[in-house]
Chains A and B, each alone.
Chain A
């Protein structure tokens, strides 16, 4: 068998013949079949409400779902805190329209300027609402590693959202203007928000926040409740950072997904239980030379009834964990 046929020949071959069928196809999905209209503005607004989880602190519960053309990626818990001198957006939303809806909810409640918008990490369901706030010229606060992460993936995510619900509803990739490498504080006059930049955990750009007035912790996606967590940073790192979250002294938190306000200790315990099962099961599989394609069928399955969307993410989490742990 001629090994020299590998590569150059194959590549040239592919390029010479691919064009004929590209007209109706874009990466395996026929564009003409994609729903484009989505939810109407009215229906969208009716589907969501803001809950006041602490004085002056309003959170919208995200859908427990993946992004679809209909839901405009409104799947994360987003909201805002009203301070004496201005408004801080805790999470901006999953798309421009999601962010615009949030901007509208703020306007209903206060005329104060939006002075700060938190970009809690790189994922699109948390980052793409930011475009709705650029006109307010706020400080966009993010982890020091967020820029690098957005460089690598921002446009990639944007294209996928555009494919789902169009350019207009997606919005731009917005970069942080204030980078937090370790800790930072923002003073809204009558309350101070304290930020902590975490090591690789859920992602490599996780930023958590604590409100001095309510004592509430905003761990963003370091804390998933009900919805199965997705691993995209470091499994061992996440377990480590959860120890820091526990040690924060907060009793209640606003998780990135799930209920808008939870008791911190049991929520962290449940997440730790899943991540520990994922770690130990994957380690055991690696130790027993169970290959990755078999490990995805077995690891952490006893956690299945505890999490929504379990089947969507558990196998993928194992795939990610396996690659991290197999080099130990």
Chain B
């Protein structure tokens, strides 16, 4: 690939732009790694997260969709499809070459509809991504996708720190048109910079300390939809699309970040589905 500076007219980084200046000090990997090297890295990561448990490949229990070449490495949309919803207990997203590879974990509850889950992440390097589902019988299955993007974790926000913190904790929830008897598609939006700890104030040369949503629980009434454990790989102003089975009671959202920030919101649920 011929190197070009596609960010010449904009801040956003595409795969064509080079990676973050600070990335190599933390971790270096990238385009020229071999399949074998990537596989070996994944073995190490999987072991650190799941211990010695066996992870089998799957092309039905979970599908992982990501753009092969990201428009904006600081906002890479990911879709996890898990059609066999009664079998899914949890799903993890791992971005192998990110500084903190374990991007997110979702534990589903009885009000969840797992068929489709979307979130937006930062990608710091050309990397394999893995989705690992845990089924209700306690087994693990993985799906994989390679993504070309770089610099997503260290890219400066397009605004000052103060501005990025404005409205922190504000939330919105949107529901797609509900059809009787069907689960509802919901979109949860949270105002939060999700500072990665790798974004530098170029003048003071200080890194803006990492500040990210690390715990997020969504419930329909007193039934859990999911609990997400998150990390610095989640893009700023997190947006999560998910399915839920409402029962008429309010949808409760509780979010907390690693610096002790805590926010709760309640949303009116769409009409009961049956």
The answer to whether A and B interact is yes
Binding site for B on A (CB under 8 A): 1-3, 5-7, 9-11, 13-15, 17-19, 21-22, 24-30, 34, 65-69, 73, 75, 94, 123-125, 148, 150-157, 159-161, 163-164, 204, 221, 230-232, 289, 291-293, 296, 312-313, 315-316, 318-320, 323, 326-327
Q: Is the CB of B26 within 8 A of A230?
A: no
Q: Is the CB of B21 within 8 A of A159?
A: yes
Q: Can you list 19 pairs linking A and B with CB atoms under 8 Å apart?
A: A5-B48, A7-B231, A7-B232, A9-B48, A10-B45, A10-B48, A22-B28, A25-B24, A27-B23, A66-B8, A123-B8, A124-B5, A153-B11, A157-B7, A230-B10, A232-B12, A291-B241, A293-B67, A320-B10
A interface SS class: helix
Contact of A67 among B5, B23, B27 (CB under 8 A): B5
Shortest CB-to-CB span from B75 to chain A, Å, is 6
We find that the number of chain B residues with CB closer than 8 angstroms to chain A is 88
Q: Is the CB of A28 within 8 A of B125?
A: yes
Q: Which of B42-100 contact A (CB under 8 A)?
A: 44-45, 48-50, 65, 67, 71-72, 75, 77, 79, 90, 92, 98-100
CA distance A148 to B201 in the complex (A): 10
B16 neighbours in A (Cβ, 8 Å): 66
Q: Which of B181-203 contact A (CB under 8 A)?
A: 185, 187, 189, 191, 200-203
Q: Is the CB of A153 within 8 A of B202?
A: yes
CA distance A66 to B151 in the complex (A): 18
Report if A29-B30 is in contact (Cβ < 8 Å); known contacts: A291-B77, A293-B77.
yes
Known A2-B49, A27-B28, A327-B189; further 16 A-B contacts with Cβ < 8 A? A6-B214, A13-B48, A21-B28, A21-B33, A26-B24, A66-B6, A67-B5, A67-B8, A94-B8, A125-B8, A160-B18, A230-B9, A230-B10, A232-B10, A293-B79, A316-B71
Most buried by B among A75, A148, A160: A160
Q: Is the CB of B118 within 8 A of A291?
A: yes
**In the complex, per-residue mask of B230-246: 1 if CB is within 8 Å of any chain A CB, else 0:** 11100001010100000
CB-nearest residue of chain A relative to B201? A151
B180 within 8 A of A: no
CB-nearest residue of chain A relative to B148? A28
Report if A152-B48 is in contact (Cβ < 8 Å); known contacts: A10-B231, A296-B71, A326-B239.
no
Most buried by B among A2, A14, A125, A315: A14
B67 neighbours in A (Cβ, 8 Å): 293
Q: Is the CB of A1 within 8 A of B3?
A: no
B92 neighbours in A (Cβ, 8 Å): 1
B110 within 8 A of A: no
A7 neighbours in B (Cβ, 8 Å): 100, 102, 214, 231-232, 258
The 10 closest A-B pairs by CB, nearest first: A27-B19, A28-B30, A67-B5, A18-B27, A22-B28, A293-B77, A230-B9, A10-B102, A155-B202, A3-B229
CB-nearest residue of chain B relative to A322? B75
Q: Is the CB of A152 within 8 A of B160?
A: yes
Q: Is the CB of A125 within 8 A of B9?
A: yes
CA distance A221 to B189 in the complex (A): 32
A153 neighbours in B (Cβ, 8 Å): 11, 156, 202
CA distance A322 to B11 in the complex (A): 16
B160 neighbours in A (Cβ, 8 Å): 148, 152
B157 neighbours in A (Cβ, 8 Å): 152
Q: Is the CB of A11 within 8 A of B10?
A: no
B237 neighbours in A (Cβ, 8 Å): 323, 327
Q: Is the CB of B99 within 8 A of A14?
A: yes
Shortest CB-to-CB span from B73 to chain A, Å, is 11
A319 neighbours in B (Cβ, 8 Å): 12, 71-72, 75
CA distance A65 to B92 in the complex (A): 40
CA distance A153 to B17 in the complex (A): 15
B159 neighbours in A (Cβ, 8 Å): 152, 204
Shortest CB-to-CB span from B10 to chain A, Å, is 4
B20 within 8 A of A: yes
CA distance A2 to B191 in the complex (A): 27
Shortest CB-to-CB span from A318 to chain B, Å, is 8
B113 within 8 A of A: no
A75 neighbours in B (Cβ, 8 Å): 8
A21 neighbours in B (Cβ, 8 Å): 28-29, 33, 37
Q: Is the CB of A124 within 8 A of B10?
A: no
CB-nearest residue of chain A relative to B104? A6
CB-nearest residue of chain A relative to B78? A293
B44 neighbours in A (Cβ, 8 Å): 13, 17
**In the complex, per-residue mask of B125-162: 1 if CB is within 8 Å of any chain A CB, else 0:** 11000001010000000000000001100011111100
